[in-house]
Amino acid sequence: MRFTSLGTTGLSVSRLCLGCMSYGASAWRPWVLDEDAARPFFRRAIEAGINFFDTADMYSLGVSEEVTGRALRDYGRPDELVIATKVFFPLSDRPNMGGLSRKHIVQGCEASLRRLGVETIDLYQIHRFDPVVPIEETLAALDHLVHSGKVRYIGASSGFAWQFAQALSASERHGWARFVSMQNHYNLLYREEEREMIPLCAKTGVGLMPWSPLARGVLAGARRGVTDRESTVRAATDSYGHGLYDDQVNWDIVDAVRRVADGRGVPMAQIALAWLLSRPQVAAPIVGATKLPQLEDALGAVSLELSAEEVALLEAPYRPQPVRGIV
């Protein structure tokens, strides 16, 4: 495993982050692995040197945090691990159970701490920006958590560049803890982040940990066309993913990934991840796996270096597209 710093912080993270949305309770989503089935993924990840794990309070309505916390205590050394979780999406339809108010952020953090079984969350992230709550209220609450010792670093996930810039500016003006990471929608099929968000992060020293690096498996060859939703349980039931990729997939890009993979004699997933790992500012793509070979493919990408010609082949078919994944 290789390691890097998250942005300009001193936090050392593995070049892959294991996404824990897939682990928790199958009652929440049919493709989610229950605890017994999930534990081998944590064990293998730690054996391979992964020290970075990302979950969220809304994944399996809290069960993902519980499963993640127990597995990491059993298989890892807490001082070496970096545990990230997120707050924003509601866990129920009752008042104050979602959003980025001071009340919900503090309550959400305390609940996540209990579920994870830790005293401090290494990286606490807003899952989205809240259009209702002033950013100053959100940042003040996050700063309070940092100074109270409940959170070490704060990050954000998906938003417009102007929102992120506004947040960084507010933190600077008030002397508050600032976002050190951006968990954004970025892969070979979706590169609109290169216009504004990624240059902003490069200028301000913010590390990237992209989600959906394989475009819900499309870049791994899991689907054969726009209408192919039956290849996996997730492909058949992931309504959010359908909105991200279905009619917008540039299959010329998928074909380019396949050609490079065939030329190298490696799985398509390794090529798509190797491209992302080569991008400036990308610290650690968030990889999800529900089969152990998927995790092995991701691990293989860390040491795979693409040539300039291969990169050009992969990037050439891209065409501008509408912004997606912000909400």
For residue 2, with 0-12 CB atoms within 10 Å meaning exposed, 13-18 middle and 19 or more buried, which class applies? exposed
The residue range of the domain holding 18 is: 3-315
CA 14, CA 315: separation in Å to the nearest integer? 25
Active-site residue (options: 59, 124, 153, 190): 59
CATH number for the domain spanning 269: value is 3.20.20.100
**Is residue 310 within 8 Å of 260, Cβ to Cβ?**
yes
Q: How far is CA 22 from CA 27, 32, 85, 234, 292, in A?
A: 12, 5, 14, 10, 12
List the one residue out of 100, 122, 145 whose CA is nearest residue 51.
Answer: 122
Residue 197 falls within a domain, yes or no? yes
* Mean per-residue pLDDT, 69-73: 98
Give the distance, in angstroms, between the CA of residue 225 and the centroid of all CA atoms in the same chain.
25
Q: What is the pLDDT of residue 245?
A: 76
Overall size of the chain counted in residues: 327
pLDDT band at 224 (very low <50, low <70, confident <90, very high): low
Q: State yes or no: is 245 an active-site residue.
A: no
Domain count, the chain: 1
Per the prediction, the chain carries an average pLDDT of 94
Residue 321: inside a domain: no
pLDDT reading at 234 higher than 60:
no
Does residue 297 form part of some domain? yes
Q: Is residue 320 part of a domain?
A: no
Q: Which residues pair with 123 in a beta bridge?
A: 84, 153
DSSP H or E run through 68 = helix 63-75
Q: For residue 327, tell me if it sits in a domain.
A: no
Residue 324 lies in a domain: no
**pLDDT value at position 239?**
54
73: in domain: yes
The answer as to whether 27 is a domain residue is yes
Whether residue 236 is predicted with pLDDT greater than 60 in this model: the reply is: no
